[in-house]
Chains A and B, each alone.
Chain A
Amino acid sequence: MKQLPRRRPLTTLVAALGLSAAVALPAYAEIRIGLNVPLTGFAAVDGKSALEGAKLAVAQANAAGGVHGEKLELVIYDDQAAPKEAVPIATKLVAKDEVVGAVSGSYSGPTRAAAGIFQRAKVPYVVAYAVHPEITLAGDYMFRVASMGEVQGRAGARLVADLGKKKVGLITVKSDFGQALAAGFKEAAPKFGLDIVGEYEYALQDRQFGAVVSTIKAAKPEIIYASGYYFTAGPLVAQLRAAGVTAPIIGQEGYDSEKFIEIAGDAAEGTLVTTSLDRDSESPATKVFLADYRKATGAGADMVAASTYAATRVLIEGLEKSGGKGGEALKSAIAAGTFDTPIGRLSFNDLHEVRKDIQVQVVRDKTFRRHSVISDPVLLAPPGRPAS
């Protein structure tokens, strides 16, 4: 008689895979907060920074005695930056881990997918650096500490004007973020009398920009506003400089990684970046964060680490005000609060989008240094909740 194949090895494997997703399983926790981060897959670099940021915030809070004497536990899941992973993770955090609040240390795709689940469960969800507009529209339990693309785009236009330039070359990455930045930039451009002399788009997979570089060179802009991420911006900036383009280049949060400087090399010098972390800040919140982060990880912090740390801090300070309670009490505490974080002083509007300054950093001697701060509450006002 033929025997059926044994199933045990497969089930064991599946169980092991499932377990490996949950890095920290507390024995029993007093107060649990959830975190979804991409620890594997294409976004793993950002996931690592985000994880370190969140862990640092929790460790500091616990070292200071926890929240009302109760210890905090961070429950971490790897979402691989994939929406299909985020849904079961959010469900698990809500139903099994019973977190009082959660932080997204991930990209827009998975964060959007998880948002609805946290909203239905009335679990406050603080989003660190995912910028898609739909996220906060999921409901009033959503909070975002990152400035939306269109806000950063407006800040870019203002920076061009502050630098005394008029003729702008626009290079846009074909992603939601790139489109939102370009929309914000173009919306504010007439206000500052800017003239867009050339406008080009590229795909996220592109690393060779020969054609765009040649064309932008021919258009002779005084300054270039180019959106992208370190892996596209590094090659782009290097190729612009190699072709003899000397106009200043303005990038955004996506550039804010030491990897950008590593890839672009000497060409990175002088690149301006509108972002949320000021490495030369005098604010105690920023200085403590930068020092502790370096002590904990041995590396310099980037925008993603600082933003995820800030998001986690917002949740923890909210818990301190709500007396450790989640739900409605925590939501109201966060909505009404003002928070001093390494990405500046934050408060939220009626859509729970952040109000904060935009930091301008410049690459000098292979590090990001302070260039200026854009503090203009009217220009940088995030969109409010649409009337329904």
Chain B
Amino acid sequence: MLALELVAQGLVQGSIYALIALGLTLVYGLLRILHVAHAALFTLGAYVGVMVYNATGNLPLAFALAMVVAGLAGVATFRLAYQPILSQPPFVALIASIGLYIAAEETFRVVFGASGLSFATPPLQGQVALFGGIQFKTAELMVMLGTALIIAALGWLQTRTRVGVACQATVSDPQMAESFGISLRKVRDINFFVGSALAGFAGVWVALLNNLVEPTMGSVPSYKALAIIVLGGLGSVRGTLAAALVLGVVEAFGTIYLGKLLDRNAIAFAFLILVLMLRPQGLFATR
């Protein structure tokens, strides 16, 4: 019974991780960049979501704008920060990315204040009772459904549309894809837009779950999402999804049964070390 509740809570947390890590995986698959600044777009999405909702009271609009703003900011990040250094070794982009994240965090602090923002009247706070007496906040249930839906939609787009196939082709062989008339630049833009929009989407959910948006809210996800994509086998979308959900559940149990020994935020890394020792290619890598 309690175990079931912990699994459910783990899946809620895992859904958030999945949304954030997915964008990171897309970028890594395409450009081999460890995009730490991705977490800043998660924070940006959360701020936009809260401000739009407080101004209009329209939650779908808040989600849409958060995703668009985060998506565009992601494209801008790519064009201004990463594109000029693509020919450099990967650590150059990693350092740029870390710097970018720190700068973004401070910018949020200066622009929106250090104490953070909250919804004036937070939506989706009702309770839903499921079978077996498991009780969810409406927002918790919706985040799982929303994540499942958006990921299913992405999967469909990737395999059934021209743009999606072009993206896949670019990931597996950029030169060949280009010679078939696929615009690399366009594919990269789309990738950054979609990945960053997902992070913005996650940001609004976290704002709904906690009713608190702070400048530093991306700092834990920024490194935890890196652990997740490594667990998932770097660049594998399915692996990332599975790793995010597994980590969410492992953390839920770990918080309760290992809490005294190990910080919740250390569990991800202990788990990572363990997996890398036993399965260096990642939990779900096929190669």
Q: Do A and B associate with each other?
A: yes
Binding site for B on A (CB under 8 A): 40-45, 174, 200-203, 205-208, 210-215, 217-218, 231, 234-235, 238-239, 242-244, 259, 262-265
The answer to whether B281 has its CB under 8 Å from any CB of chain A is no
B256:A212 contact, CB within 8 angstroms? yes
| Residue picked from A44, A217, A264, A265, most chain B C-beta under 10 Å | A265
Verify if B232 is at the interface (C-beta below 8 Å from A): no
Q: Are B114 and A242 in contact (CB under 8 A)?
A: no
- Asked whether, in the complex, the Cβ of A263 is within 8 Å of the Cβ of B118, the reply is yes
Q: List 17 A-B contacts (CB under 8 A).
A: A40-B114, A203-B265, A205-B219, A207-B217, A208-B13, A210-B252, A211-B10, A211-B252, A214-B5, A214-B6, A214-B8, A215-B6, A235-B210, A239-B209, A242-B127, A242-B137, A265-B125
Contacts of B214 in A (CB 8 A): 231
Cβ B137 vs Cβ A243 within 8 A: yes
Which of A43, A44, A215 counts the most B-chain CB atoms under 10 A from its CB?
A215
Q: How far is the CA of A330 from the CA of B144 in the complex (A)?
A: 62
A202-B118 contact given A218-B5, A242-B137, CB 8 Å threshold: no
CA distance A202 to B13 in the complex (A): 15
Assess the A235–B259 pair: CB atoms within 8 A.
no
Interface on B for A, CB 8 Å cutoff?
1-2, 5-6, 8-10, 12-13, 109, 113-116, 118, 121-122, 125, 127, 135, 137, 140, 206, 209-212, 214, 216-217, 219-220, 251-253, 255-256, 259-260, 263-265
Q: For residue B12, which residues in chain A have a CB less than 8 angstroms away from its CB?
A: 208, 210
**Interfacial chain A residues near B211, Cβ < 8 Å:** 234-235, 238, 263-265
Q: Which residues of B contact A43 (CB under 8 A)?
A: 114
Bound form: Cα–Cα A217–B13 in Å:
19
Chain A contacts for B260, CB-based, 8 A? 201
B255 near A211 with CB under 8 A, answer: yes
Is B2 in contact with A215, judged by CB distance below 8 angstroms? Answer: yes
Known: A205-B219, A210-B252, A214-B5. A262 touches B210 (CB 8 A): no
Given contacts A44-B114, A200-B255, contact A235 B127 (CB under 8 A): no
Contact A263 B212 (CB under 8 A): yes
Q: Which of B109, B140, B255, B260 has the most CB of A within 10 A?
A: B255
Closest to B1 in A: A218
**Which secondary structure characterizes the binding site on chain A?**
helix
Which of B115, B140, B217 lies in contact with A210, CB distance below 8 A? B140
Q: Inside 8 A of B135's CB, which chain A residues have their CB?
A: 243-244
- Nearest CB on B from A97, distance (A): 27
Inter-subunit contact A201/B220 (CB<8 Å): no
How far is the CB of B63 from the nearest CB of chain A, in Å? 19
Q: Which residues of A contact B264 (CB under 8 A)?
A: 202-203, 206
Nearest chain B CB to A60's CB is how many angstroms away?
A: 27
A234, B280: Cα distance in complex, Å: 40
Question: A212: which B residues are within 8 A, CB to CB?
Answer: 255-256
A205 to B135, CA, bound (A): 25
CB pair B251 A211 closer than 8 Å: yes
Shortest distance from the beta carbon of B104 to any chain A beta carbon, whole Å = 15
Q: A44-B114, A200-B259, A201-B260 are in contact. Are A207 and B212 (CB under 8 A)?
A: yes
CA distance A215 to B217 in the complex (A): 25
Whether the pair B115, A45 counts as a contact (CB closer than 8 A) is: yes
In the complex, which residue of chain A has the Cβ closest to the Cβ of B2? A218
Pair B137/A231 contact, Cβ less than 8 Å: no
Cα A40 to Cα B114 in complex, Å, equals 8
Q: Across the interface, do A42 and B137 meet the contact criterion of CB distance under 8 Å?
A: no
- The answer to whether B125 and A211 touch across the interface, beta carbons within 8 angstroms, is no
A208 vs chain B, min Cβ distance (A)? 6
Please, which residues of chain B bring their CB within 8 A of the CB of A174? 263
Task: Collect the chain B residues with CB atoms within 8 Å of residue A264's CB.
Answer: 211
- Chain B residues with CB under 8 Å of A263's CB are 118, 210-212
Which residue of chain B is the closest to A201 with respect to CB atoms?
Answer: B259
What 11 new A-B contacts, CB under 8 Å, besides A45-B115, A214-B2? A43-B114, A44-B113, A200-B256, A205-B220, A211-B9, A211-B251, A231-B214, A242-B137, A243-B135, A244-B127, A265-B211
CA distance A174 to B115 in the complex (A): 21
Residues of B within 8 A of A243 (CB): 127, 135, 137
Q: Point out the residue from B9, B122, B263 that lies within 8 Å of A203, measured CB to CB.
A: B263
Return B49 CB to nearest CB of chain A, in Å.
15
Bound-state CA distance A354–B259 (Å) is 34
Contact B114–A205 (Cβ < 8 Å): no
Chain A residue at minimal CB-CB distance from B216: A42
Given A200-B256, A239-B137; A214-B9 close (CB under 8 Å): yes
B203 to chain A, nearest CB (A): 13
Chain B CB within 10 Å — which of A201, A202, A263 has the most? A263
Closest 7 pairs between A and B when the two form their complex, measured CB to CB: A210-B9, A214-B5, A211-B252, A44-B114, A242-B137, A235-B210, A45-B115
What's the minimum C-beta distance from B226 to chain A, rounded to whole angstroms? 16
Q: Cβ of B219 and Cβ of A259 under 8 Å apart?
A: no
- Chain B residues with CB under 8 Å of A205's CB are 216, 219-220, 265
Residues in B neighbouring A231, C-beta threshold 8 A: 116, 212, 214
Chain A residues contacting B209 (CB-CB under 8 Å) are: 207-208, 235, 239
Q: Which residue of B lies closest to A267 (CB)?
A: B125
User: Bound state CA distance, A265 and B8, in angstroms?
Assistant: 25
Question: B212 contacts which of A213, A218, A235 (Cβ < 8 Å)?
Answer: A235
With CB as the reference atom, state the residue of chain B lying closest to A234: B212
User: Taking CB as reference atom, which chain A residue is nearest B249?
Assistant: A211
B residues less than 8 Å from A217 (CB atoms): 5
What's the nearest-Cβ distance from chain A to residue B102, in Å?
A: 13
Q: Which residues of B contact A211 (CB under 8 A)?
A: 6, 9-10, 251-253, 255-256
